[in-house]
Amino acid sequence: MAKQQANKKVIISGGGTGGHVFPAIAIADALCRQLTNPDILFVGANGRMEMEKVPEAGYSIIGLPVEGFRRKLSLSNLKVILNLLKSLRMAQRIIRKFSPDVVVGVGGYASGPVLRKAAGMGIPTLIQEQNSYAGVTNRLLAKKAKKICVAYEGMENYFPAEKLILAGNPVRKEILEIHSSDKSPSSKDSAQNAKSFFGFNDNARVLLILGGSLGARTINQAVLGELERIKESGVLVLWQCGKYYHEEVKKSLEGAGENIVLKDFIQRMDLAYMAADVIIARAGAITISELCLVGKASILVPSPNVAEDHQTKNAKALSSQSAAIYIPDKEAVKRMIPEALDLLGDDKRQEILSKNITGMAIEDSADRIAKEVIGIM
């Protein structure tokens, strides 16, 4: 790819979760591939994971004191408002000092103040909306944004159609790398090597259960309630229970057999995806984008504790196209494991789900977004 303009300055703002941070880093990497010597500055929220992950990726970051509002009426929301006002002032100073050619917002607490100030100062902005349902902040910011990169069709319900670019969601490079010709997730050799990495038998059926890096209480309860059924099935389980729940779950598994490998966090997600025959996960936007690239039969149990219930909308967007199975959080304890075991025994249904979810994958998402960023400079 021929490199374009030299010495351009870009601010990328947002974060809070891996679902915002990893795409932001992927966009920055793509900009470095397409531009000559770009100067990229991240602006995040103090205490959130971007303050650790962005420097690890080799980029500079400045933190704002911005945080989310409490859902219930609380005096602590007064502090949130004061921190928001402070963050707006800081964002203006950062933009004035750095003088970016363009500002990109990927969602998360810091994205709002930075994009609002940038637009007000006449600097072109681009929004990357990850979900199938646009939140209030992005809908407000969209009025002055030059472009809005989205991951789903039908987003003209929330944004001006003339600004929309269907670009997908960028994912971690190690997930993209498993799609090279010799490491395809459907390759028998790759699957066997991945299973061996986790200590599984080559011919075993593997159920991968993901509750996010922090964990998901309902998903954990659903597994613990069906330990006997899992043991009798002969299925092997790779289970990321989350750091908050690890010790509690570890104690509950004592004497439950050796067919469950428990992790608080899985570092080699590429190998976990390759080892799996069926995957259970929440329905965050980036998780879904990774599942589309991995192309495995999946069961989605959306978290009910997210803004505007966007994970349910994400899950329904896939289930409506027979690309995944959707189970509401309130039904997970009763349905999740029985349906997963049934799916593991139904090769035909796995094939249908795999084919349909693979058809929704966009592999060059970060490069598409970077191209649009460059285009509005």
pLDDT in tens, 190-224: 788 899 999 888 788 999 999 876 678 999 999 99
For the chain (377 residues), the mean pLDDT of every run of 10, in chain order, is 78 84 93 96 93 94 86 76 94 98 92 96 96 85 96 91 95 74 55 88 90 83 95 94 90 84 91 96 92 95 86 93 97 98 98 95 93 95
The 3-state DSSP class for residue 178 equals coil
Q: What is the pLDDT of residue 184?
A: 53
Query: Which residues make up the CATH 3.40.50.2000 domain(s) of the chain?
Result: 9-169+363-375, 173-358
Give the helix ranges, DSSP H, for 99-226: 111-120, 136-141, 173-177, 188-197, 217-224
Please answer whether residues 369 and 128 qualify as being in contact, where contact means their C-beta atoms are separated by less than 8 angstroms.
yes
Cβ(112)–Cβ(11) under 8 Å?
Answer: no
Class of domain 9-169+363-375: alpha beta
Please state the pTM of the whole predicted model.
0.81
Between vectors from CA 372 to CA 368 and to CA 376, what angle results, nearest 5°? 170
Q: Give the contacts of 65 (CB within 8 A, at least 6 positions apart).
A: 45, 46, 83, 86, 87, 90
- The token pair that represents 14 in the structure block: 């947002």
Q: Which helix (H) or strand (E) holds 232?
A: helix 227-233
pLDDT of residue 131: 85
Spell out the CATH class of 173-358.
alpha beta
